Amino acid sequence: MIREPNQARFPAEHFINREISLLKFQRRVLAQAADERVPLLERLRFLCIVSSNLDEFFEIRVAGLKEQIKLGSTAAGADGLPPGEIYQRVAEEAHEMVAEQYALLNDTILPALEKEGIVILRRSRWTEPQQAWVKEYFQREVMPLLTPIGLDPAHPFPRVLNKSLNFAVELDGLDAFGRNSGAAIVQAPRALPRVIQLPKDISGLDHCFVFLSSMLHAHVGDLFEGMNVLGCYQFRVTRNSDLFVDEEETKNLHAALQGELPQRHFGDAVRLEVADNCSEVMAEFLLQQFGLARADLFRVHGLVNLVRLMRVPDWVDRPDLKYPAFRPGRPKSLERRHDIFQVMRQQDVLLHHPFQSFAPVIDLLNYAADDPQVVAIKMTVYRTGSESVLMEALLRAARKGKEVTVVVELMARFDEEANLSIAARLEEAGAHVVYGVFGYKTHAKMLLILRREASGEGRPTQFRRYVHLGTGNYHPRTSGMYTDFGLLTANDEIGADVHEVFKQLTGLGRAGELKHIWQAPFTLHSKLIAAIQAEADAARTGRKGRIIAKMNSLLEPQIVSALYEASEAGVEIDLIVRGVCALRPGVPGLSDNIRVRSVVGRFLEHSRIFYFYADGAERTYLSSADWMERNVFRRIEVCFPVLDDRLKRRVMKEGLRPYLHDNAQAWTMDANGNYSRPPNRRTRSVAQESLLLDLGASA
């Protein structure tokens, strides 16, 4: 087992807490929903993204805090805050944010949508024809699926699925058996849509919607004939969704995970959301049923699950209210030639998604699957989607008799079920499926193709390796939504490095030395520290020291400490950190030379880029890893160099410089962990928009 080294060399007050920093990021996403410059339907989408992000925050981060508190733990991280204090601060911040979120929805976004003819119709506004349509729909589509459960000794409180829609009903009167429990629970089946579009001839609008919850509220009395409905309140419980698989006891990860997955839906409750009309008596009753405290109760003014509104922008055909459509560009080298292997032999190819298409990666795998000269394909799968075209290519290659090896990460959070399905299909086709190294998530993004090629007239054939390495997942859908870099190369030494990493993942033995790649959990951390210290050494002797790094999260205490020391030595450091950042920039005498910014825009910033001046060598790396403890110590990650000077300049021009100059979607962080946007400038510089233009993407 790889052990983590000692923690930070600086006191706790120099570090920002992870959970608090993560909620600051959610506020930056919420600000996109409030920004009038963002198209209206995209603002609604951002509002839903905040809800989805908060769901995961409670399922994982808050659930973890609650577990620590329950166990009596007072252990603190580098920030020095014990779990109880973190939870208290997080709960306060989350309540404030959710209140702002619903106020923005009800007071701004929904009225603005209505002005555009896109209406979410409340019950109080239904006309008689609309009421009749709703009643007929409810009787036909909803009523047959509902199973109301009266609460009495024979019917205890039901098991409520994680994040499911439910209704608590207060009743008065006696039923057919003379019972009067006073309460019932109605669970909305997952098969039912939560948002229903009214026909145009009924609504008079092209886009008019009603909530399933409104339908049920209107007709809940039909479920309890002869009784009086005193109140009907929608509620939703969020549960601990982190899977636990005991490393010491588990002999078969595949089987253990299959057994654990069903329990995810019924973990310990961590949050209760109720409609704001819920009575105090019912709210207290529900809290008791789920073992929650008042701080865990969220009263919301509207739908208890705003994620359900995410589909509305897709249903509404209003391009004027969405981001302009675009067509990703392609590198000129791949446009001119159809033989991708020939192109890779002649030069490395850099892909910048989503501004450039992900299609070359799909093409490469398709060519490899069908090319008789390709004898083996190896690939890592973290998240790819259960119906991925990449998986179809791997299946085809395996059926054609090629040696196909796929390292499937079964513990990719919330993708476990899809990855189990992928693994089963690949094994049935004859592929070798392995699950990496138990205890270490395989997060590296690697594709290795072995091709038999002629080496010259009269000479025997030889094997040549073709490689794709990326900062993002092999997921065609998210490649159009996340910013990532991918490198296509036939470089012999990088190919040998990738081969060595695959050998570790599939076999046994000591880790071999790699020529170019920095690999977690072995060398990545030490190489990063050494590169930072080299810049500090240069600055101390009067030479130029410069670091620019772009990532999703910065948390690892020793790396933060090394950056502080480099700043003290005079190194100029720019950090572009999308989400969580534990480092405090701009602290006098500590981090005067460090600037931190976060860019939140149309696309999710996902690429990891590390630039070190290195006495003019300008070493530039792309990576699957953030600067977090889990990435450098508990995951298998790769950090790979961009060796071609032309491509280095592209990484700087496209991946770093535009983000340092962005004055519209960038947020600057202060020493207290707060973020602010730069003042409005006459000339706006928007990194993502300029990249859409510069890389030839067009509508």
Amino acid occupying residue 48: C
Taking the C-alpha atoms of residue 640 and residue 632, their distance in angstroms, rounded to an integer, is: 14
Taking the C-alpha atoms of residue 574 and residue 585, their distance in angstroms, rounded to an integer, is: 10
* The two three-digit tokens of residue 546, written as one number: 């410069």
In sign, the C-alpha dihedral spanning 563, 546, 568, 578 is negative
Q: Are 218 and 123 in contact (CB under 8 A)?
A: yes
In this structure, the number of other CB atoms found within 10 A of the CB of residue 467 comes to: 24
Torsion of CA 395, 397, 399, 402, to 10 degrees: -130
Q: Are 638 and 624 in contact (CB under 8 A)?
A: yes
- Locate the DSSP E strands across 371-444: 374-381, 403-408, 432-434, 441-442
Taking the C-alpha atoms of residue 536 and residue 568, their distance in angstroms, rounded to an integer, is: 8
Task: Please report the DSSP string for 110-164 in residue order.
Answer: HHHHHHTTEEE--GGG--HHHHHHHHHHIIIIIGGG---EE-BTTBPPPP--TT-
The burial of 600, by beta-carbon neighbours within 10 Å (0-12 exposed, 13-18 middle, 19 or more buried), is given as buried
Taking the C-alpha atoms of residue 55 and residue 645, their distance in angstroms, rounded to an integer, is: 43
Q: Are 230 and 172 in contact (CB under 8 A)?
A: yes
Cα 608 to Cα 9, 380, 599, 679: the distances in Å are 25, 18, 13, 27
* Catalytic status, residue 443: yes
Taking the C-alpha atoms of residue 14 and residue 25, their distance in angstroms, rounded to an integer, is: 19
In this structure, the number of other CB atoms found within 10 A of the CB of residue 124 comes to: 6
Which residue is catalytic, options 219, 352, 443, 468?
443
Task: Provide CB contacts within 8 A for 117, sequence distance 6+.
Answer: 205, 206, 207
In this structure, the number of other CB atoms found within 10 A of the CB of residue 214 comes to: 20
Taking the C-alpha atoms of residue 566 and residue 531, their distance in angstroms, rounded to an integer, is: 10
Report how far Cα 371 is from the mean position of its chain's Cα atoms.
Answer: 35
* The two three-digit tokens of residue 104, written as one number: 């923005």
The burial of 52, by beta-carbon neighbours within 10 Å (0-12 exposed, 13-18 middle, 19 or more buried), is given as middle
Taking the C-alpha atoms of residue 627 and residue 653, their distance in angstroms, rounded to an integer, is: 23
Catalytic residue IDs: 443
